[in-house]
Structure 1
């Protein structure tokens, strides 16, 4: 069955403005009220409630057409977990980051144990379709136990100092968490992260792009892809 295209019908504002508001919210550490103010400065009067509805409706639809960055055979996988407090309860965000700094996958789970680590690895192997050359984690023993349960013949390096790439990947989330005054529910957090990480993957240049021209070209290509996705959604 073919997918029904997303429709902008019965929306008072043009699709270019809706796509721009969604891009602003997920690309930068902004609240809905700040996006409202930025649009007002351009003479566009739209409430933050409307911007919130746009992000809930269109954000997930856009990223369905944007594929996650896929790992290559022989890549390094950096795995890490970070604590997220939601409604007074501790959850753990398990994240896998490729050698170029792109987020390969992330799962919010209640536990920080072998079962949770195994779930992350199982999803990664299924979605990526390849095995890494090396797996780098912190000193949490659950990673090694999960690797043994899955019988992975992958070199595993467990050292906090080697895992800076994964640990640094949590910083943008922490900024958003402060702006949003924490997440309201685990489901809402997972939905937000799905869109946020894919949009960030699209626009942030890989670590190998050390010069300004390469970064500029990368972002121009990202804008072209974003515009294509938001137009095709019509």
Structure 2
């Protein structure tokens, strides 16, 4: 387990980018629900999701502590969001090691309707070893692509909470509107802590184009491409 007691012992180390960049990790939240807070921190928007950045400052067997990277810290670091994001892409998988798990291990419990969709492991959970802030795993380099290659399908991502996402193979017999309805039902139930609610929108990973986007945007893009081909 990663321990970074140096930063905790010396709070000034948080203001030194070279000291903290190896302890950066990504945290994904809902952009609309956190719009006011986002004005205070560097962030990257994907659909209705916002990636913010944290510094792991100490871990124990029971818990970990972290500090949110703020705009004030960025001014001291003298870097831009792109630099921060790219460094976090490198350090996050080390700090918050990704895990791909069978659906039945989902900690919040699995609605019967979702459980019935699972066929030959075509539905899994992606999170991290801490099972906290694990939804950001979908942005790790290679995680979705490796999974899509293994399942030989593009993927639908159900952003079930900030702690994890459910991933489903995009097969011909899959009704993505049904999945979106299930997502709404779960979000409006007691299964998800309101503070951990991530999104009411499905996401899609295109295996061939290697694009992660909202499912609605994927459908529009595919329709536009087909329409353009017809015109030619």
Do the structures match in fold with TM over 0.5?
no
More relative contact order, 1 or 2 (CA 8 Å, 6+ apart): 1
TM-score of the two chains, using structure 1 as the length reference: 0.28
- Bigger share in helix: 1
The structure that is strand-richer by fraction is 2
